């Protein structure tokens, strides 16, 4: 009996402990529920909402690139495209077969779509084709009931209205590569494109704009149910260039058959009015998608259409450099304007003969400095170079912008080269030779310059010795303009420290080149209806050593010489004479003679003076335009 009583007490204790445990657990559970549902309710409600609501980035409209008068050089236009949603098809392959009867679908596109469908969820749209014509897009919409899973879509794509004519300036956009990802989520948007070259690359971040966002409701699988709210992105900033698109177009067409470069600039402000490199390429091809075959053709083209020769091409300046040698002699007091040299066509230095281009005709006879420039007498400049030495010549060349990049707003600008004794010793380990000084005096030897540098050199010669630098964009947007179309308030460039009298003498000598009776470019003076005169300087730059037989034959063997072995043709010029405003430099690769470049320059400068872009009011770009339907796209 006592044993039963003890057993009952033990059972009662255990039941009490179990009940107490249950109550404790119940209390803990209730406390936890109270904590989660009351105290932390806001946080978990927010997390639940985040699972239901998906925030998606929206790509903003890219800013425009426009010329000085408001003409669009890079714009945006509707991109008609078609996507495929796998779960809505009766079979992806069958839907592609049906779609292929409406628009062209090549095997590469088909393989890509099938690959992406396997990789993505069945409700995620996969791009099939883009940049469709309106007719193709309309045909898809009409036949949509017979195309299960196919969905037409309208996006925005980049367009270059002038195509090849502004390709090297404006550049192009293309898809973001893995190496270009910076953590910016905008770069990870499907189909997003960034600037890869030209102005598009230099000002890419400001052209991009700021992303918008869309709040959409999704189910547990991430499928979109409906859009709840939308905030469109902020368009990128427009970039206003100093270029005159009409002038650019004219020069581009004039050089279309050449491997050449031309630069036209304002000698006072440094604004580049035209910059042409020929041949060129179509930047729209990069945006639309370029085949491997087309890319290989561009890369392997012997005349290098992808290279902007105006800033990247480096050429011996030839006789266009003789003005620098003359100024160095005047500045150093080594020779004056009246200094005369007798040219019989050849001069000897040790056992080496240095010829004048006119050696077959017995030379130029007695010439002073002005006539030496006008007739491009090599013997005269051999004499000046010997008196000066290469380092004094180089010092003057650097004042005029040669030998270093000028900082133009493009990628790939070359430095050129102005040699010195120390440079040669450091690079080759061999001391400088006097014969190399003589060759430097006529713009050959190690000297190299870009067409842009030659244009800047000419601008500084014509503007009174001011260190003007090239400008390609007006980053301040609309500006208050003066009567001549230039910004009313513009800092005056510093002086390069060359005598005004010496500069005027050189300008007169350059005028004699074109307008004098014995000038090397006398056949290419401007026509009378232009009402202005042009001053300039021819240059012929050798690309290889000329043999004795070729020297005797003169131009008779020129037609038989392979294109790549022919001399480069150069011409630098400014106009109008007396009141200069424009400077230009033209380089024709393997053009044969500086007179050929002078012929092209005559046409270019005629177009410049007739258009006279500095006399017209530059429109700039107004950011007050309607960014919606009222704005051109």
Upstream peptide bond of 463 is cis (omega within 30 degrees of 0): no
Cα–Cα distance, 23 to 3 (Å, whole number): 30
Task: Check residue 467 and give its pLDDT.
Answer: 97
Q: Is 488 exposed, middle or buried (0-12, 13-18, 19+ CB in 10 A)?
A: exposed
Task: Check residue 631 and give its pLDDT.
Answer: 35
Cα–Cα distance, 68 to 528 (Å, whole number): 29
- Coil, strand or helix at 572: strand
Token readout for 457 is 């050199």
Task: Check residue 357 and give its pLDDT.
Answer: 92
Cα–Cα distance, 343 to 355 (Å, whole number): 10
Cα–Cα distance, 629 to 342 (Å, whole number): 73
- Coil, strand or helix at 528: helix
The b/e string for 413-437 (b: 16+ C-beta within 10 A; e otherwise) is: bbebbbbbbebbeeeeeeebbeebb
Cα–Cα distance, 122 to 489 (Å, whole number): 61
Task: Please tell me the number of Cα atoms within 13 Å of 359 on its side-chain side.
Answer: 18
Q: Is 319 annotated in the active site? A: yes
Task: Check residue 476 and give its pLDDT.
Answer: 45
Instruction: Please answer whether residues 58 and 616 qualify as being in contact, where contact means their C-beta atoms are separated by less than 8 angstroms.
Output: no
- Coil, strand or helix at 518: coil
Which of 430, 486, 68 shows the shortest CA–CA distance to 269?
A: 486
Residue 183 has a CB neighbour count (10 Å cut-off) of 6
Task: Check residue 168 and give its pLDDT.
Answer: 97
252, 277, 312, 319: which one is catalytic? 319
List domains and CATH numbers for the chain: 56-241 (3.90.1310.10), 254-284+308-473+490-615 (3.40.710.10)
Task: Check residue 340 and give its pLDDT.
Answer: 97
The series of mean pLDDT values per 10 residues for the chain, 633 residues long, is: 61 74 79 66 53 67 94 91 85 90 89 84 78 89 87 84 96 85 75 89 92 67 61 88 97 95 97 97 84 88 95 97 98 97 95 91 95 97 97 98 96 97 96 96 96 98 97 64 50 94 98 97 91 95 70 57 88 96 97 95 96 78 36 32
What contacts 349, CB < 8 A, 6 or more positions away? 434, 435, 438
Instruction: Please answer whether residues 397 and 446 qualify as being in contact, where contact means their C-beta atoms are separated by less than 8 angstroms.
Output: no
Instruction: Please answer whether residues 537 and 585 qualify as being in contact, where contact means their C-beta atoms are separated by less than 8 angstroms.
Output: no
Give 571's strand partners.
Answer: 538, 586
Give the N- to C-terminal CA distance of the chain in Å, as an integer: 103
Cα–Cα distance, 115 to 128 (Å, whole number): 12
Between vectors from CA 547 to CA 546 and to CA 549, what angle results, nearest 5°? 125
């Amino acid at each position: 009996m006592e044993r039963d009583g003890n057993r009952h007490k033990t059972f009662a204790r255990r039941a009490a402990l179990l009940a107490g445990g249950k109550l404790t657990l119940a209390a803990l559970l209730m406390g936890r529920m109270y904590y989660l549902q009351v105290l932390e309710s806001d946080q978990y409600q927010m997390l639940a909402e985040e699972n239901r609501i998906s925030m998606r980035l929206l790509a903003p409209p890219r800013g425009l690139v426009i010329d000085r008068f408001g003409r669009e050089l890079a714009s945006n236009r509707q991109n008609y495209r078609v996507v495929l949603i796998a779960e809505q098809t009766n079979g992806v392959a069958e839907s592609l077969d049906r779609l292929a009867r409406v628009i062209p679908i090549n095997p590469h596109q088909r393989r890509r779509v099938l690959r992406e469908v396997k990789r993505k969820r069945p409700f995620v749209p996969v791009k099939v084709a883009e940049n469709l014509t309106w007719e193709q897009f309309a045909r898809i919409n009409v036949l949509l009931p017979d195309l299960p899973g196919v969905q037409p879509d309208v996006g925005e794509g980049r367009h270059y209205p002038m195509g090849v004519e502004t390709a090297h300036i404006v550049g192009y956009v293309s898809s973001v590569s893995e190496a270009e990802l910076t953590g910016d989520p905008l770069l990870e948007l499907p189909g997003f494109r960034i600037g890869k070259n030209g102005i598009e690359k230099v000002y890419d971040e400001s052209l991009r704009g700021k992303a918008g966002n869309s709040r959409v409701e999704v189910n547990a699988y991430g499928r979109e149910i409906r859009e709840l709210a939308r905030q469109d992105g902020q368009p990128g900033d427009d970039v206003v260039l100093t270029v005159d698109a009409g002038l650019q177009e004219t020069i581009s067409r004039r050089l279309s058959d050449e491997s050449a470069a031309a630069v036209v600039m304002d000698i006072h402000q440094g604004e580049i009015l035209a910059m042409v490199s020929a041949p060129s390429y179509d930047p729209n091809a990069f945006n639309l998608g370029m085949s491997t075959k087309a890319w290989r053709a561009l890369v392997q083209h012997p005349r290098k259409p992808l290279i902007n020769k105006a800033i990247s091409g480096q050429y011996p300046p030839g006789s266009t450099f003789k003005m620098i040698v003359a100024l160095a002699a005047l500045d150093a007091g080594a020779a004056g304007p009246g200094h005369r040299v007798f040219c019989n066509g050849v001069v000897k230095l040790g056992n080496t003969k240095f010829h004048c281009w006119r050696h077959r005709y017995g030379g130029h006879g007695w010439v002073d400095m002005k006539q030496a420039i006008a007739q491009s007498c090599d013997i005269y400049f051999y004499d000046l170079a010997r008196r000066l030495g290469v380092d004094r010549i180089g010092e003057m060349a650097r004042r005029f912008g040669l030998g270093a990049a000028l900082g133009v707003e493009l990628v790939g600008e070359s430095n050129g080269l102005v040699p010195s004794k120390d440079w040669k010793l450091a690079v080759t380990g061999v001391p400088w030779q006097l014969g190399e000084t003589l060759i430097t005096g006529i713009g050959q030897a190690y000297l190299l310059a870009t067409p842009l540098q030659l244009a800047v050199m000419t601008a500084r010669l014509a503007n009174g010795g001011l260190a003007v630098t090239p400008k390609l964009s007006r980053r301040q947007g609309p500006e208050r303009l003066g009567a001549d179309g230039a910004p009313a308030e513009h800092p005056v460039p510093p002086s390069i420290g060359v005598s005004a009298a010496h500069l005027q003498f050189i300008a007169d000598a350059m005028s004699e080149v074109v307008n004098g009776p014995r000038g090397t470019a006398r056949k290419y003076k401007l026509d009378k209806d232009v009402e202005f005169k042009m001053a300039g300087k021819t240059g012929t730059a050798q690309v290889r050593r000329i043999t004795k037989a070729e020297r005797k034959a003169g131009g008779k063997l020129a037609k038989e010489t392979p294109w790549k072995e022919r001399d480069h043709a150069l011409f630098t010029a400014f106009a109008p004479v007396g009141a200069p405003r424009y400077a230009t430099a033209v380089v024709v690769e393997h053009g044969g003679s500086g007179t050929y470049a002078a012929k092209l320059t005559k046409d270019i400068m005629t177009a410049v003076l007739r258009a006279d872009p500095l006399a017209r009011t530059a429109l700039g770009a107004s950011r007050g335009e309607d960014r919606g339907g009222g704005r051109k796209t």
